Amino acid sequence: MEIAKVGVVGAGQMGNGIAHVLALAGYEVLLNDISQEALDGALAQIVRNLDRQVSRGKVASDDRDAALARISTTLSLAELGSTDLVIESATERETVKQAIFEDLVPHLQPHTILTSNTSSISITRLASRTDRPEKFMGFHFMNPVPVMQLVELIRGIATDEQTYQACFGVVERLGKTAASSEDFPAFIVNRILMPMINEAVYTLYEGVGNVASIDSAMKLGTNHPMGPLELADFIGLDTCLAIMNVLHDGLADTKYRPCPLLTKYVEAGWLGRKTQRGFYDYRGEVPVPTR
């Protein structure tokens, strides 16, 4: 089936990146959020990121202008009724995502494919609350979307082959690489990554190291480009905690229990880069460790 117009729900750090790469690949994009501020912020971020790509010679200025012209924004979910594919990328909370799908479904055309960029929530369970579980799947981008090569594609129990192939075709047109994952908590990447980040927070909590020593140990000792705490701030500590809770609940194994210190940071509203403070404080010239 031909996919020409894509709706993106949630204009946060992932939603703006998804809109960016889709528009650059030639799709018409309709970006939705409940907050006008988030929509304005997303568009400004897309302009900044495209400008950087132009200045580095990765994107021609005509292509940047054409991509920007393909992106529209809306506060109304009903307007996404005209799309062929929807990628939901709102806050990582199951009740939020379910409410979005319930509100969205009555407006959709029968052929429209519904997907979620969730990092961890069951695709099968989200799909079961819609009228089209066979046309529903996981479409999981990595952060930052314009830079990262991988997209995890997750089939729910009912996802049909045509839907999978259509999404696979979108990933190819974006010039990215798909990895196929079965629908189990946190899929492949976060099933492996998040317990490592959570363990880094335990290492901090138990005083084995401080923020600087933990990040520098993992960067220099294991050749990771970012330390685990720096990466957690980059992902968002609320998202990290939500994923650990999904692993803990979904796999019923105490080895996935979220570190109390991670919970404390989230309760403080110190969510990482997006709120200017997490394991590092980003309000000054250089990030300063908070412990």
- Between 129 and 210, name the residue whose CB sits nearer to ligand NAD: 129
* End-to-end Cα spacing for the chain: 52
Q: Choosing from 140, 181, 198, 230, which is the catalytic residue?
A: 140
| Nearest-approach distance from CB 34 to ligand NAD, in angstroms | 4
Of residues 39, 14, 35, 270, the one with CA closest to residue 144 = 14
Query: Catalytic: 89?
Result: no
| Nearest-approach distance from CB 1 to ligand NAD, in angstroms | 25
Residue type, 264: K
Query: Catalytic: 140?
Result: yes
For CA atoms 126, 130, 134, 137, the dihedral sign is negative
| Nearest-approach distance from CB 165 to ligand NAD, in angstroms | 22
CB atoms within 10 A of CB 264: 13
123 burial type by CB count under 10 A (0-12 exposed, 13-18 middle, 19+ buried): buried
- Between 19 and 204, name the residue whose CB sits nearer to ligand NAD: 19
C-alpha span between 68 and 252 (Å, rounded): 45
User: 29: left (phi > 0), else alpha (psi -120 to 50), else beta?
Assistant: beta
| Nearest-approach distance from CB 26 to ligand NAD, in angstroms | 23
- Residue nearest ligand NAD, CB atom distance: 12
Which two tokens mark 208?
């084995």
Q: Choosing from 32, 49, 117, 119, which is the catalytic residue?
A: 119
Query: Catalytic: 190?
Result: yes
Summarize as ranges the residues that interact with ligand NAD (CB under 6 A). Answer: 9-15, 32-35, 38, 89-92, 96, 100, 117-119, 140-143, 235-236, 239, 274
Q: Choosing from 28, 152, 198, 230, which is the catalytic residue?
A: 152
Query: Catalytic: 152?
Result: yes
- Between 59 and 235, name the residue whose CB sits nearer to ligand NAD: 235
Catalytic residue ranges: 119, 140, 152, 190
